[in-house]
Amino acid sequence: MTAQQIIADDSILARQDKDGVVTLTLNQPGQYNVLSERMLRALQENLDELAVDESIRCVVIGAAGKAFCAGHDLKQMRSNPRQEYYENLFEQCSRVMQSIVNLPVPVIARIHGMATAAGCQLVASCDLAVAGESATFAVSGINVGLFCSTPAVALSRNVAPKQAFDMLVTGRFISAAEALSYGLISRMAPDAELDSTVAALTDVICSKSPVAIRTGKAMFARQRSMGLEDAYAYAGQVMACNMMAEDAAEGIDAFIGKRKPEWKGR
């Protein structure tokens, strides 16, 4: 294997670097990969490092065991019955989710098994999400008397309001097919083809200009909060700057010359 393993496989979070693609694997299968304080710290540390690494082209977040992520660690939460503790915990989780959104490169969720509550929030926070056909999704805090308020932030930015609220107030599980139709995930694959589908997607992303990909991710996120006129003005400025990049000149020249572009990354 040519990948660099910077976190041991028996750690709570495993990391593999290979050809510009970083795979972060939630590695606490016995607890369905809950987002404990320790897991959130490990994710944050890696995301902070990735944010300043210009060699990275794409990030995949997956999980070991039978499930993707069961959300927050409820036992840990009940053992610390203080509002200050809960506020700090949810702030810590929100910071991780925003770090995913703000990462300069695309982040892909690779989902198998179930993704519930904050685990569903994690899926919604990623730029792209590929799920096995047997995967299921829920924001099920309502079933234990807790409305999934922080997961609702990410969910409502991916799923139509009535569908998102239906999930939030019923706590019901939806299938991968439903998640695809709702816009919660971007692709669904046969379970046996999940890894190859994710690999094909990362290969496509890595074949594009890194300048264009990084420019595009930042632009896409920012324009969503703008009005139509402001969004077009901002997009025009970004596209003009993108046109001045060496990669844009190379890409257009390669298209005209009917050859494969050689990206410079600038």
DSSP letters, 13-69, are EEEEEETTEEEEEE--GGGTT-B-HHHHHHHHHHHHHHHT-TT--EEEEEESTT-SB
For the chain, which ranges sit under pLDDT 70?
Answer: 1-10
Question: What structural domains does the chain harbor?
Answer: 4-206 (3.90.226.10), 210-256 (1.10.12.10)
pLDDT in the model for residue 10? 56
pLDDT in the model for residue 7? 41
pLDDT in the model for residue 9? 47
pLDDT in the model for residue 125? 98
Task: Find out whether 168 and 152 touch, Cβ atoms under 8 Å.
Answer: yes
Chain position carrying tokens 């019955």? 81
Decide the pairing of beta strands 21-26 and 107-111.
unpaired
